[in-house]
Structure 1
């Protein structure tokens, strides 16, 4: 599964979420493209209070504090 990962520099929750994504990809086929919301006015306005955000097909799959379990559930629900 390939997702978009909305983040911004200096975001500790984003750093933690990316670490969880690195861990989950050892067990599940997860890839992502990181998108800095500070480089896109529309995404900044949309996600400024939600980051980090994992999105697929314009649907938010999870946001905020993202755990390994949150990510694993995405594969079990066949998102």
Structure 2
């Protein structure tokens, strides 16, 4: 299962989202990558006030304050 975290440097909510993803990797089998929205004008336009955004298998699952239980539930549905 593929997970993408859209965020930026020096973002405390993004750091919290990364910590949640690291924790969830202990419980679920998935690979995740982080994409800096400032690396792409389209992403910056789309997500600039929404970050962090977690996308699972192409579906935006949650944005802003990331909740571990919401992400965990979606990861369980996908396996």
Stretches of structure 2 that go unaligned for 5 or more consecutive residues are: none
TM-score (norm 2): 0.89
**How far apart are 1:59 and its partner, in Å?**
2.2
Distance 1:58 1:9, change over 3 A: same
User: Is the 1:21–1:30 contact (alpha carbons within 8 Å) kept by the matching residues of 2?
Assistant: no
**Partner of 1:3 in structure 2?**
3
**Partner of 1:48 in structure 2?**
48
* Structure 1 consecutive aligned stretches of length 4 or more whose deviation exceeds 3 Å: none
Distance 1:40 1:61 in 2: 21
Stretches of structure 1 that go unaligned for 5 or more consecutive residues are: none
SS of residue paired to 1:73: helix
SS of residue paired to 1:77: helix
Distance 1:69 1:57 in 2: 18
Give the 5 Å matches for 1:1-79.
1-78=1-78
**How far apart are 1:49 and its partner, in Å?**
1.1
Aligned length: 79
**How far apart are 1:15 and its partner, in Å?**
0.1
TM-score (norm 1): 0.89
